[in-house]
Each structure stands twice: as C-alpha cells, then as structure tokens.
C-alpha cells in the first residue's frame, strides 16, 4: 500500500529544518523532493529517519553559508 501525499507531508513536517520543494505522482506512487539543512550530525540523523522510504535521487551541498541535502523520496511498496 503506497502512502498518499498527505501522509508524506505529515511525516516530513516532523523533520527539522526542511523545505518541501516538489511532489509528483508517477504510476500511483508519490515522489517528494525536499531539502534538509544542518550540520553533518543533524543531516545524518534526519536521513536515518527515512527507513520507510526509498531515496531515488539526492544532491549534497556544502558551502560556507549552508550544509544541506536535497532528497527525492518515495514510500517503499511494502509499507
């Protein structure tokens, strides 16, 4: 059973320092792209909370001003 967009948004709201960038439905499965910000430990901690999701794409950004990861995720089929 796949999660709907509302379920994904509610779970992502629990994550710190994140911004949902986009969401798209492909073949009945929602892919949500979002950005999380923080130091290395915060980023690793937030990624570890995504056990129930497949990460289909990611971009790591590290500058003087900001550390962030942009992730595109979808729920795993067996949830």
pLDDT in tens, 12-36: 555 556 788 998 988 888 899 999 9
The two beta strands, 29-37 and 53-62, are unpaired
Whether residue 23 contacts residue 32, with contact meaning beta carbons closer than 8 Å, is answered with: yes
Could you report the per-residue pLDDT of 48-66, keeping only the tens digit for each?
A: 988 889 999 999 999 988 8
Question: What is the three-state SS of 22-49?
Answer: EEEEECCEEEEEEEEECCHHHHHHHHHC
pLDDT number for residue 13:
57
**Token duo for residue 27:** 């073949």
What average pLDDT does the segment 68-79 reach? 82
Q: How far apart are CA 53 and CA 61, in angstroms?
A: 21
Q: What is the DSSP letter of 50?
A: -
> Is the predicted pLDDT of residue 78 greater than 80, yes or no?
no
Query: What is the pLDDT at residue 79?
Result: 44
Q: What is the pLDDT of residue 1?
A: 46
């Amino acid at each position: 059973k796949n999660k709907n967009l509302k379920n994904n948004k509610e779970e992502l709201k629990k994550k710190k320092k994140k911004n949902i960038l986009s969401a798209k439905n492909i073949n009945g499965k929602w892919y949500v792209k979002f950005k999380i910000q923080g130091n290395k430990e915060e980023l690793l901690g937030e990624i570890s909370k995504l056990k129930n999701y497949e990460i289909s794409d990611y971009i790591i950004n590290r500058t003087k001003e900001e550390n962030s990861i942009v992730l595109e995720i979808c729920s795993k089929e067996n949830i």
